[in-house]
Every structure is written in structure tokens, then in C-alpha cells.
Amino acid sequence: MEDILSHIGDPRDLARLDYSALTELAAEIRKVIIATVSRNGGHLASNLGVVELTIALHRAFHSPHDKIVWDVGHQCYTHKLLTGRYTGGLSFSQLRQMGGLAGFPKYSESPHDVFNTGHASTSISGALGLLAADRLKGGDQRVIAVIGDGALTGGLAYEALSHAGQLGLPLIVILNDNAMSISKNVGGLSKYLSRLSMKAKYQSFRRGFDALVKKTPVVGETLYNVIYRLKRAVKAIFYTDNFFVDLGFEYVGPINGHNIAQLESLLSDVRKLDHPVVVHVITQKGKGYKYAEANPSAYHGVGAFSIDEGIADPNTGRSFTNAFGEAIVEAATRNHAVAAITAAMEHGAGLAPFKERFPERLFDVGIAEGHAVTFAAGLACQGLRPVVAVYSTFAQRAYDAVIHDVSLQQLPVVFCLDRAGFVGGDGETHQGLFDIAFFRMAPNMTILAPASKSELKAMLDFALSSKSAVMIRYPKSDCPEECGAFASPLKNGRGVFIRRNNAPICIAFTGSLYTQALDAAERLASWGVAADIYNLRFLKPIDEDYLAGLMNAYTLFVFAEEGVRSGGFCEYAASLAVERRCHAHIATLSAGEQFGGLGKRDELLRINGLDGESIAAFVRTAIAKNDRMAE
């Protein structure tokens, strides 16, 4: 096959290719995506599903003058390849690597990335804002929001659709319908889109008829406009079962999302409309790679894998996610009131085993985290013990529901936050650095941070017996090996010593930093510096008398936290030391006030001073500083 992709430095280069070459280009792009993701990890199935759609978009529109906003953004790889990032300074081969290409749209990378995304359901709002601003400035840009049917389960998308219909601006919404978000789509919207898709024969006839009318000599365009207005009038009277039409959108589709010629022709017509339009496109998630086609959920976000053999079983290994999955199944076996709620993250949150055992107690609400929390509050009001399993970064979207519907009512909802702290590969939008800070301020909230599998299980059991809300946060990493200290029972507001030899120095850590704290203590020991290690366990509430007493027992007390400093545990601990007039020197290590970045978790910990080597160096510096202060 001729190497076509290497000659595409800009979307304008697509114009010189015929449809045969474009088909070859699509196949080449799929090979590049599969090969790159197999090495670097990333989002595979979603990107394989939109290759032809992306090519057609860049043929019909003129980026970056015309703006394309990708919802979530985990389907933007083809877009990046067509906009000058296949080779060069930001090479696609460095996808998701530190200093390399982001796996999501990032406007600092390219003028073709016009709006940063990473969370679902934001594209229509952002695109509408871009379009409204352009029109206020007298511009003529076309703005396109590409949103999946999964992301359309989020409430923000409906707020934006309602406003777009009200404004009447020529916003173009591409509804990428693949019957999937991450896990298989559920709910009324999915069924509704399926009903619309059944009308494909009518839509095919309509497109053929329109094309025929346009070709009519002399009067073709005029006749087409008359028929178009007539169809609108007829639909207004008889055709009232299309949600998008009722909101004020023209609805076009469904259309085959893998036919470049048909897509380009339709999008070129849509480009001329002067009112909002929804283009309903049917695609196959994972297209072109047999393993991803057969199991698109498993191939949504993947680590490195063998192209020939596929990914390893995602349910194996000793990750915190798998530990949670085992713990909640055990808890639900003992207690029939335990229910689990997920926001389209059944596999990612570790709930697949729970669903297999207790399908009637697993509720997948779609990409609707706020609803998940308030729904859980309703379950709790009826005596159930709901567990909301969600990534830390997505819990941000449910903050009001946590405060208003759970905390205020003092309801016993359990929140299990996966991917807390630094998250490798996905960049700024997916870091879990903020949960400690913004949930510590919530009244009636307990926050726990396990350091091991046994601690996670004990904390879940503790949470399920609590009379108010409990949040358990854990990282995307392996669970450390167990040790004797982890087996000690939980005491409210207190942690546990992992190592205690009455040393003059103590390193206290939030659970996810256990491995790093242990490494730091071993490095210090090799330098002749003894340090005790204290696992905080509880980040709220805190037995303040006990913690103040601990701090007073040491010359130097170091707190290490995998979260932002502002509002976090380190800030609280330093304040407590001042308030209680502790004589120990208090030093704190945290992520700082930032969004994190691109790279593996170990790399991110290192550059933020939270790996074992950096913690040890920090302690040595603090010792030297303390000695100088004592002189």
C-alpha cells in the first residue's frame, strides 16, 4: 500500500485525493492507531470507529477556520494525524508520553484543537459558545460538535441543545451513534436512537430524491428549496416524534458513518444551512481490529498489548480496582442491602464481577454522575447501602449532589473513588488531585485512604456500617503487598504505624503513597537516618489530640499527600500543628496547586517530588534546615 498519511501535513491535502485513495488512507490510519496504542496504551475502540467520519469532516469543512469540538476527545487520534501531528516535533509515535502528544484535544498543541475536552457532554455547550462569539464578531465560521450517543446521556448536553434551539444559530451537531459509551449504553435515549436508526430506508430514499431534484435542469435548486420548505411544514404537522426537531434542530440521518463519499456529500449540504442541525451517524466502535470489534468495552482504554493476541485479561492483576471489585462482591454477599451505582464505568470501576453476581443490584446510570449521587441518596433513604463507584476526576461533576443530597441529609452513601491522585497517560483532564480538598470541607463526610488490599476491604466494611457518607480514595496502581500493620483494626480518626522504632523523624502519608514512603525510609536508613512510617488511613475526621501528640513525639514530622495542597490534608495538618503549638518541625509535601500533566504515574510523582527518592531528599533538606534553626 502506498504511504499516503506521511504526505498529509494539513487537512487541505485531503482535497487532492480521490475516494479510492481516501479508503486506503483510512486503512493506513487504522494501522497507525493500532500500532501506536499497542505500544503506548490509549483509547482504541472509540478512535477506530470515527476514521471515515473524521476524514469526511476535514474534507467538507475548513479547519481551523471552521471549528471542530470533540466531545470527551478520546476519538481525536485521526484528527491529530490529519492536522500535522503524524511526524515532526509532536509526533504521533509519542502519544500519551511525557513531553509528547496528548491523547485528548489540546489547543496548546495545534490551532486545529479549538477546545480542550476530556470529560463527557461538554462539546455542544463549548461549540455553541464558539459560534455565538464568532457571530457577534461578524464572522462566518462553521462550528461542529461531535458527540457520541454515550455522552448524550449527560445532562449538560441537553441544556446545550435546548439553548442552541433557542438561539437558532447554525450549529452542527454530529451524533456519533455506536450504541456504546465505555460500557454498552443503557436507558431510554439508547432505545430512542435505535428507533430513529430503524428509519434508515426512509432517510436513504430522501437523500436520493433530494439529489435527483437538485440535478433537474434550470429549476433544480429552486425546486429543491420549495420541497425542503414543504417537508418542514409537513413535519411540523405530522412528524412530532423526533426530539431534536422539537428542540428546533433540523434532523438528518441516520447515515453510514464509514462511507466517506456519502458523508462528505451530506456534510457539504449541511454546511449551507442557516439553522441548527443534528446529523445522526451510525458507526462501529473498534472497526478494523477484530478484538476491538468483538469487545469494544474492553478496548476502550487500554495499556500496551500484543496486536496479534489482543490485550491480557483486564480483570487479572492486583490493582486497587480489582481489590475493590472483590471487596464489594464479598460485602454484597453478606449484606443484601448493598447496591452499586456506576456512571457508564462498569468495567473501569471494577464492577463487572458485581454485575455478574448481582445484576439486579447494579445500576448503570449512563454518563450522569450528578444523577448517580442523588439516585444513591434515594436508595439510602429506603434503607439500602449504595456504593457509588466513580473515578476521582468524574466525581468533580457531582459535587453539588454530594453536598445537597447526601451530606446535608446525612445519608450513608459510600463513594469509592478510583484513579485518585496522579493518573498516567490521560493528561490534565483526568488527574484525581482535587478530591481530598473539595470533599474534606463537606460536613458529615468521612474520607479514607487505603494503602493495601486488606485495608481497602476493611474500609469498605467500615463505610457500609457508617451512619453517614464515607469516601474511599485509591490510585490507579498495583496494590502493595500486605504486612502485619495493615491487619490492625480501624480506629476512627487514627492511622497506623507501618514502621516504628522511636526514631526522631516520622513520615506520614496518604494511602496511595505507601510504596513511596517505604522507599524513602529505606533510602534514609542507607544514609544513617532513621524514620518511622505512619499511614494516616483517615483524612477526615481526625483524632486531633492523638495526631497532635504524635507530632510532639518527633523532632521532624513530614506529611506526604497525593493531592493538591490548597485545602488538602497537608494544609490542615500544618494548621493543626500551629494551633496546638506543637514543638516538632512540620514539613509537608503535596502536589501543589496544579492540574498534573502527561506521563506515567511514577513519572508524575517524581517531577512533583512525591517518589521515594524525592521524599528522602526532602527529609534530608528538612533535617539540615531544622538543625540550622536549632543553632
Which grid cell sits at 579?
494551633
Residue found by looking up cell 512510617 in the block: 533
- Please tell me which residue in 59, 67, 285, 473 is annotated as part of the active site: 285
Query: Among 465, 400, 495, which Cα is nearest to 438's?
Result: 400
Angstrom distance (rounded) from CA 333 to CA 329: 6
The number of angstroms, rounded, from the C-alpha of 63 to the middle of its chain's C-alpha atoms is 26
β-pairing verdict for 505-509 and 532-535 = parallel
Query: Among 44, 96, 40, which Cα is nearest to 298's?
Result: 44
The number of angstroms, rounded, from the C-alpha of 566 to the middle of its chain's C-alpha atoms is 23
Query: Annotated catalytic, 397?
Result: yes
Query: Among 429, 412, 408, 527, which Cα is nearest to 463's?
Result: 412
Q: State the alpha helices, DSSP H only, in 288-347.
A: 290-294, 320-334
3-class SS at 130? helix
Angstrom distance (rounded) from CA 306 to CA 397: 35
Which grid cell sits at 393?
476526576
Pair 472, 456: CB distance under 8 Å: yes
Query: Among 36, 6, 54, 31, which Cα is nearest to 96's?
Result: 36
Query: Annotated catalytic, 285?
Result: yes
Query: Among 352, 389, 477, 388, which Cα is nearest to 425's?
Result: 477
Pair 254, 281: CB distance under 8 Å: yes
Q: What is the dihedral of CA 420, 426, 428, 434, to 10 degrees?
A: -10
- Please tell me which residue in 287, 397, 457, 537 is annotated as part of the active site: 397
Question: Which distant-in-sequence residues (6+ apart) come within 8 Å of 578 by Cβ?
Answer: none
Angle at 342 between CA 425 and CA 385, to 5 degrees: 130
- Please tell me which residue in 28, 250, 346, 369 is annotated as part of the active site: 369
Pair 250, 275: CB distance under 8 Å: yes
Pair 576, 547: CB distance under 8 Å: yes
Which grid cell sits at 260?
466517506
Which grid cell sits at 412?
450513608
Write out the catalytic residue numbers.
Answer: 285, 369, 397
